[in-house]
Amino acid sequence: MVVAETNKPHVAVLSSPGMGHIIPLLELAKCLVIDHGIHVSFLNITTEASTAQIQLLHSPTLPLGLDVIDIPAVDISALVSDDTPIVARLSVNVEESLKPLKSILIELGKPQALLIDLFCTQAFDVCKELSIPSYTFFTPSTSFLAFCLYLPTLDREVECEFIDLPEPVQVPGCSPVRTEDLLDQVRNRKIDEYKWFLFHISRLPMSDGILLNSWEDFEPTSHEAIRKHLFYKQIPTPPVFPAGPLIKHDNPELDDECLAWLDKQPLNSVLFVALGSGGTLSAAQLTELAWGLELSQQRFLLVARKPTDASASATFFNVGEDINVNDPKAYLPDGFLKRTKEVGLVVPTWAPQVSVLQHPSTGAFLSHCGWNSTLESMTHGVPMIAWPLYAEQRMNATMLVEEVGVAVKPVGIPGKGVVDREEIERLVRLVLEGEEGNVMRRQARELKVSAVKALEFGGSSHQSLSSVIKEWKIENEISV
């Protein structure tokens, strides 16, 4: 195990499994090392780790001063099955994997702080015992944080299921949440999935601070509410520190097929279709999507993944494992690849998403609205077709459409039946050809400028994160 450099503040970072959690925490870790002179130990839960997770955390390109420490894998086969929902499975994994956490932190010399994600709150108890400050890096949106902080109160005050409420959920100081947009984890309060979710978010006030992967100008209402509304003060809510947008930066090969193809396309002409590291469509929906792309006669870059009718999050725990066996011809409509070869490119499983989004030929992004993908799209000024699949993605989609004005949603919402090809054709044409698409593109580009300002020296996110780091540096000077 690597021991911290005594002349630098040392913090540990802990993420639950899943690329949507690991990527932003790794980006935060890299930011701390490169921009702020912090020594970081990244604690890697190896139980049920995907191929993509292993490759990312053991990449030779990680900066000096960022040490990845593998937590030994444990056998949880008697505790979970393939049918165990995501949050319950993650929580059991974390609970079993963190049994040696106390000894790990002691062996590291008790770092100045431990940063965790939302599903590692079992670590708070260990940190309290060792007198180590603990912070939550909240990887979804600020508006979702406000909802989470309100949920324990809602749980106490409401007797029926939340989806049966006659009115939207009135989150204090924020936009109401329509019941149809509620995340899957809160739709049935009797199951373990809900109990685990409530367990974790009820422990948020145990944090010494909450870091946010967002910036103030992107979600001003939610930031203002959490800081000033009496409800959040009474919880009490820990100090919040917007530190984003922290997004992954690709290192694609120079001869990457996607980028070479994009180089040949006109400015703002291509729809990029990618549904995240864990997202999958049903066979019927993928067929309609393909037909909609073809009927639109617009250029597209489609990241194709084998469909499944089991779950929209079916690949969450095995990201990257099908890259060599995925043949789009086996599940896309007969003749689709041949008929669209002049206007479309289909790649199996993976594409360098950030590099595609920042390419000048990319005009729009059909996305599942995971928060990482949302930030990547906004950071590069690309409007979206919102196609939420699971978790809090429906809430993100509604916010992007109704509050931020950078996205459109299908009339038939995914998850409640198949969106037909005519609707997909309409949306693709609208966002690439129509004036509404141009308006969204201008708004997205304004947010791109805003994001750059937030992260640069003296910007709101840079100052916010620096204020937290200052405390760690003071603590380090005391302990040296």
Which residue numbers are catalytic? 21, 117
CB 13 within 8 A of CB 25: yes
How many angstroms separate the CA atoms of 17 and 419, rounded? 31
- The pair phi, psi for residue 303, each rounded to 5°, is -85, 110
At residue 91, φ and ψ (nearest 5 deg) are -65, -40
477 is written with which tokens? 């000077």
Cβ pair 269, 289 in contact under 8 A:
no
d(C-alpha 310, C-alpha 308), whole Å: 5
148 Cβ contact partners less than 8 Å away, ≥ 6 residues apart: 118, 201, 204
Alpha helices in 215-334 (DSSP H): 220-228, 230-234, 257-262, 283-296
Amino acid at 411: V
Nearest to 258 by CA among 397, 355, 132, 378: 355
Strand partners, 15: 44
Neighbours of 154 (CB within 10 A): 16
Residues contacting 334, CB < 8 A, separation 6+: none
CB 66 within 8 A of CB 92: no
Whether residue 40 contacts residue 310, with contact meaning beta carbons closer than 8 Å, is answered with: no
Task: Provide the 10 A C-beta neighbour count for residue 61.
Answer: 7
Q: Are 451 and 393 in contact (CB under 8 A)?
A: no
Q: Name the phi and psi angles at 173, rounded to 5.
A: 75, 0
Cβ atoms of 101 and 123 closer than 8 Å = yes
Q: Residue 42: which H helix or E strand, with range?
A: strand 39-45
Complete DSSP assignment for 153-177: HHHHH--S-GGG-SS-B--TTS--B
Cα–Cα dist 49/28, whole Å: 20
Handedness of CA 394, 400, 402, 408 (dihedral sign): negative
Cis peptide before 236 (omega within 30 of 0): yes
> Within 13 Å, how many C-alpha atoms sit on residue 4's CB side?
27
Rg over CA atoms, the chain: 22
